[in-house]
Structure formats: C-alpha cells, structure tokens
Amino acid sequence: MSALAERFASAKAEGHAALMGYLPIGYPSVEGSIRAMVAMVEAGVDVVEVGIPYSDPVLDGPIIQRAAEVSLASGTRVADALSAVKAIVAAGAPGVVMSYYNPMLQYGLGAFAADLASAGGSGAITPDLTPDVGQAWIEAAAAENLDHIFLVAPSSTPERLHMTVAASTGFVYATSLMGVTGERSAVGSAAEKLVKRAREAGAPVVCVGLGVSTGKQAAEVAAYADGVIVGSAFVRPLLDATEPEAGIEALKAKVGELAAGVRGQA
C-alpha cells in the first residue's frame, strides 16, 4: 500500500476525511514555501500538494496566479518542487505534485517520474492532461509505482467519467464546480452529485477541490468525500502577510480551522 493510500485509510479508520493542502513552490521564496508546507503538516494537513508554477495556468484562479507569477519571476524550477516533496515526507505526510503537463514533458516524463519517486513522492495530479492522451505519463508513473491522478468535473459525460476513474490511481480529483480555483461563499450541490457519480463509476477514493475556504465548508464536503482539497485559502495568508513569519502563523491558523472542519470539530 502506498503512503497516499495508507493516509486515506488511516483517516477513514479515524472517522474523518483527509485534509489535502496545496501551495505553489517558490512563494514567497523556495525556502519560504517549503517552510510553509512543513508548517501545514504540523498544523494538521494530511496530504500536501506541491504546485509547480506554469505560465499558462488554465485551472488557477487569481490568488494562486499571483503567487505563481512571483515564483516564476524568481526562477523557480521543477527540481525545487522535488526538494519540497522530500521535506514534506520527512515531516510525516505524503507529498504529491500538481503540475500542468508541459513542465513535466520538458523535464522528461521518465526522468520526472524517477526523480519524484526518489524524493519520496506519491504521485502527480495533472489538471490539463486527460487519460485518453496521457498514456505516456501513465506508463512512466506506473514504472516508478507513482499514482497518476486525473480530474473529473460536473460536466464530465458518463463515458469520460468512467474512463477517468478507470485510469486514476491514488484518488479521483473531483472539481466542485466549473471554473478556476478560488475561495467561494458556498461549494454548491454539484460536488456531492459528482462524488456519487464517480463512486458509481468505480472510484474507491474521491477528493473534492475548488472553492473550499472555511471550516464549515470543509465539514460539509467531508460528509460525503474521502478528501477535502484546499488551495487558495492556504495561499492567501502568505499573500496577505506583511512578513514571512506572520504568513506562516496565519497559514497554521487557517489549517487548524480546516482540519477541525474535516474532523467534525468546526
């Protein structure tokens, strides 16, 4: 059983969904972002997603884009994300990479998979890659025992939903709504329906992302999903901070709120 599967299993045994936290590598700096990721683990995040900034982020909303722009301007590289994965695993949590396909392709799929595995990573989420055109990545990941995690959306047809579920390992990433990442006042009913459809299609583990930003919302999603994915709400404290230490403390407080939510303590 992989570290990712073990974490989902342990969360389920404890009676709650897993909290997954996303941060882009390189904001406010490479070292600063790694410190923030480790702090998330210490504050209650079960799994950390390390975002690799990209110049054409079709899924990223304005908050994540702002952080990614700073990261790209400072010259952050894929290798920095792998260093973050090592630190996350050392801190006691599974680490996965969330990357658009082009950076992985430029790095070399085989090399990317091998280096991610060497760093202790559990797999990769590929928001702009679908299974029907992703066989090369699926094979590279499988060769290194990495999970290849694909996305489904409320608009996914039954055929595409079944195809994506069949091709995904680790978990299926269910986007709660159509659109880009960002904090929202409500998650909406589409997410629960999508989780139900994914399970009916055979998905053993389904995690919901996009829009979750409060402990109350996390509790709502945790009632029907195996994992609650939070990105923008964790990036914002770092963006709003006047200095790095304040950002870390604000991030830890936000993680605590969301962790309490998934555990039914909000």
Whole-number Å distance between alpha carbons of 190 and 193:
5
Whole-number Å distance between alpha carbons of 79 and 66:
21
Residue with tokens 């996009």: 210
Residues belonging to the chain: 266
Q: Pick the closest to residue 212 from 262, 252, 263, 154 (CA basis).
A: 262
Residue with tokens 């989902």: 8
Helical residues (DSSP H) of 3-45, grouped into ranges: 3-13, 30-43
CA separation (Å) from 153 to 115, 219, 229? Answer: 30, 21, 14
For this structure, is 159 an active site residue? no
For this structure, is 80 an active site residue? no
Measured N-to-C along each axis, helices 109-118 and 78-91 cross at an angle, to the nearest 10 degrees, of 30
| Catalytic-labelled residue, pool 6, 14, 42, 49 | 49
- Two tokens, residue 129: 């890659």
- Two tokens, residue 102: 């082009």
Whole-number Å distance between alpha carbons of 136 and 159:
21
| Catalytic-labelled residue, pool 31, 46, 56, 60 | 60
Q: How far is CA 251 from the centre of its chain?
A: 16
Whole-number Å distance between alpha carbons of 60 and 180:
5
Residues involved in catalysis: 49, 60
